[in-house]
């Protein structure tokens, strides 16, 4: 059924940067579809929190973005549930130093955003909507031992510009390139020494917070004369190079 508030789909929205983006969109009056893969408990909790604040303003959808056949299902689930789509945020990502994960990284970091954007276009064009891809400063500045990841984010950055050209004037497509915002977890945890080196290279000399990315999303959502751009949110680290 149709609803009056704008609708956003955020992939990888259960935790970290994705949750911050979903929260900021919801606070700004959006109804939010929360995509997740493994983090079911966190996704359900976030949706419950949103619905407690505003009834029927959030829902969850589970999908493995490495499986290209799920892409149409995610868009269909969103539009079937909420009646429209105004914003797509391609946030979900795989970050790995293992070259054996090449196919998984390109499937999740490149192919899934492309498929979602294609599937969403007809719906977004009806609302003069926008797509926001979360890339990385390492799309342009290589990170040692993460060659495949860097390549995947570089591909997503080019995808942003290519689809902005193709989808105009009906749908805007932009990207955000985070710097030191949320340190990697698990097997990809960065040592204290590496973290210190990264912060030393950051002009503002501090670690960022996911809410800075959420703020950038809101800027790109609200400014309807911006398309094909990548907004660096990195505390100035890009100016200091590797």
| Catalytic residue (one of 36, 149, 219, 238) | 149
User: Does residue 219 have an active-site annotation?
Assistant: no
* Other beta carbons within 10 Å of 109: 28
Q: CA 78: distance to chain centroid?
A: 16
DSSP 47-108: HHHHHHHSTT-EEEEE--TTSGGGHHHHHHHHHHHHS---EEEE------S-GGGHHHHHII
| Cα 65 from Cα 70, distance rounded (Å) | 7
**What are φ and ψ of residue 7, in 5° steps?**
-120, 135
Nearest by Cα to 38 from 108, 87, 103, 86: 108
C-alpha distance from residue 142 to each of 40, 174, 221, 228 (Å): 32, 21, 28, 22
DSSP conformation class of 189: P
DSSP conformation class of 7: E
DSSP 160-178: HHHHHHHHTTTSEEEEEEE
Catalytic residues: 149
């Amino acid at each position: 059924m149709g609803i009056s508030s704008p609708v956003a789909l955020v992939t990888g929205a259960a935790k970290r940067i994705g949750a911050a983006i979903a929260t900021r969109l919801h606070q700004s009056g959006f109804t939010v579809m929360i995509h997740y893969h493994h983090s079911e408990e966190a996704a359900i909790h976030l949706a419950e929190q949103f619905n407690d604040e505003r009834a029927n303003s959030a829902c969850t959808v589970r999908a493995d973005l490495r499986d290209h056949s799920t892409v149409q299902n995610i868009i269909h689930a969103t539009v079937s549930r909420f009646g429209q789509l105004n914003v797509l945020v391609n946030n979900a990502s795989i970050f790995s130093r293992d070259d054996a994960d090449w196919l998984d990284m390109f499937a999740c970091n490149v192919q899934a955003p492309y498929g979602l954007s294609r599937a969403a276009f007809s719906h977004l064009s009806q609302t003069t909507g926008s797509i926001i891809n979360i890339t990385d400063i390492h799309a342009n500045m290589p990170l040692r031992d993460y060659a495949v990841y860097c390549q995947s984010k570089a591909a997503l950055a080019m995808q942003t510009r290519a689809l902005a050209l193709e989808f105009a004037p009906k749908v805007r497509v932009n990207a955000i390139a985070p710097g030191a915002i949320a340190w990697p977890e698990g097997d990809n945890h960065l040592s204290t020494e590496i973290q210190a080196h990264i912060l030393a290279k950051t002009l503002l000399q501090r670690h960022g917070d996911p809410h800075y990315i959420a703020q950038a999303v809101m800027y790109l959502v609200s400014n309807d004369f911006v398309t094909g751009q990548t907004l660096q949110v990195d505390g100035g680290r890009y100016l200091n190079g590797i």
